[in-house]
Structure 1
């Protein structure tokens, strides 16, 4: 799992971390029982405060995605596939909203937007 944060984004750093870890869990990149990087390790890697990483991890604990296991660190909890699928679909919907808004602002036609989406879809 690779986490990338931006200090120029309007989104708080802890929120960026939490969002990317959550996506990795829902997407299956982090499986049940996997250990997250230690607080110190991730803070050093991202060059952020340990408090920032702690906040992100504690929020994930509150969401029921990870547990803080004494002596082991933060471990991924089992995820209900239906919940994960719903979360991923919600993420797609947010992305579509963002793309449509940007396309309208750039005066990209609906047909051109659909062609671009089709081209992107076929690249993989």
Structure 2
């Protein structure tokens, strides 16, 4: 499991860990019943506190991505497709909201936002 922590980021370290592990679960890099590194091991590898790693794992468990078994470790849960779809739609909506707020700050019209989005999609399609 590869995680990259950016100390200069505005995002808290536990949140960076949470997001990257969650993304690896949702993308299939981490599969059902995979054992995550122990809290102590991951803390040492990333040079972060045990408290920070514990918080990331606890948040992942709270949101249903993993199960923590005392004395055994932290295991990846299976993700129900309908739950996965719902979470992805929710993230898309959140991202669209952020984009629209930013667009309003620079007075972009809906049409301009849509044009930017279409351009971005075309660039992504060309990269594939």
Q: TM-score higher than 0.5 here?
A: yes
Instruction: Work out the number of aligned pairs and report it.
Output: 124
Structure 1 outlier segments of 4+, above 6 Å: none
Higher relative contact order (CA 8 A, sep 6+): 1
Give the 3 Å change call, closer, same or farther, for CA 101–113 of structure 1 in structure 2: farther
Task: Report the counterpart of residue 121 of structure 2 in structure 1.
Answer: 118
1-structure distance, mates of 2:2, 2:107 = 34
What is the alpha-carbon root mean square deviation over aligned residues?
A: 2.4
**Shift in Å, 1:103:** 4.5
1:19 aligns with 2:22: no
Match of 1:85 in 2: 85
Unpaired segments of 5 or more residues in structure 1? none
Please give the TM-score of this superposition, normalised by the length of structure 2: 0.76
What TM-score does the superposition give when structure 1 sets the normalisation length?
0.78
Secondary structure of the structure 1 residue equivalent to 2:74: strand
Structure 2: unaligned runs, 5 residues or longer: none
